[in-house]
Amino acid sequence: MYSFDYVKPGSIDEAVAALQAEDAQALGGGQTLIPTLRQRLAQPSVLVDLGGCLDAGVASQDGGCRIGGGATHASVAASADAPKWLRAVADGIGDPQVRNRGTIGGSLANNDPASDYPAAVLGSGAEISTNARTIAADDYFQGMFETALNEGEIITGVTFPKLEAANYQKFDQPASRFALVGVFVGKGAGGVRVAVTGASESGVHRWADAEAALAGNFSTDAVPGAPSADGVISDLHGSAEYRAHLVAVLTRRAVAAAG
């Protein structure tokens, strides 16, 4: 490690002010940031711990639910106020240590291209609340590790809508427990949404062809064949063609489980 200042604000306003310092970095659950610091891939001058100022609650709301930005994956997985499909997403993240420390706000702010929550947020059409505004899921995710957050903006909560049917299926990479490919299918008042994580070089995204097919016939028979492998990640864990094939397979599984 190296020398840096540590600040734990007691309010959102104090946290926003602390983040104005040069090279300041927000700290949520630390599941990505701490390993990054150890490897010297990031060297902030100030760590601003959000644990003392963020809501960590889970509350049912209009048939859906609102989750505070500081809620851990474990608390979401255990909450009766979260819908069953969302509890399942949270319970499948990482291992017990990660679930007990990692937060939904930290996960979404980081926007890892293979993480689970982005698929659930985009696939359900959720809204991300910050200290400054509310951002629709379609506007929030802007590429690999890229989001609509401005500098110093803090995620304070996420509101998930009521869904008629929903399910998330993941083919995980066993060493990291991240998604080699993950697919979330949600059917609600706004129609059918299909969000894919782990597959694309541009990060989490919607599969428009599957959405159009499922809108008219929400069944496994309607799911199209594998999407194009163009722009799909290819590495030692799986080729682009393999990941594209998994997208279709997991979409069928999600539709079957959601129904």
CB-based contacts of 126, cutoff 8 Å, min separation 6: 120, 137, 158, 159, 160, 161
Cross-strand bridge partners of residue 187: 165, 192
- Residue 62: predicted pLDDT: 84
For the chain, the farthest-separated pair of C-alpha atoms sits apart, in whole angstroms, at 58
- Residue 30: predicted pLDDT: 76
Q: Quick check: 115 pLDDT over 60?
A: yes
Output the average pLDDT for the chain: 93
**Torsion angle in degrees (nearest 10) through CA of 49, 53, 54, 59:** 150
CATH number given to 163-258: 3.30.390.50
pTM, entire model: 0.94
Q: How far apart are CA 158 and CA 209, in angstroms?
A: 27
pLDDT tens-digit profile of 130-143? 999 999 999 999 99
Share of the chain above pLDDT 90, in %: 79
Pull the structure tokens for residue 91.
């319970």
pLDDT tens-digit profile of 8-32? 999 999 999 999 988 888 888 877 7
- Residue 1: predicted pLDDT: 57
Mean pLDDT of 98-112: 95
Share of the chain above pLDDT 70, in %: 99
- Residue 195: predicted pLDDT: 98
- Residue 259: predicted pLDDT: 67
Q: Return the residue matching tokens 């799911």.
A: 223
Selected from 3.40.50.720, 3.90.1660.10, 3.30.465.10, 3.40.50.800, the CATH number assigned to the domain covering 58-160 reads: 3.30.465.10
- Residue 42: predicted pLDDT: 72
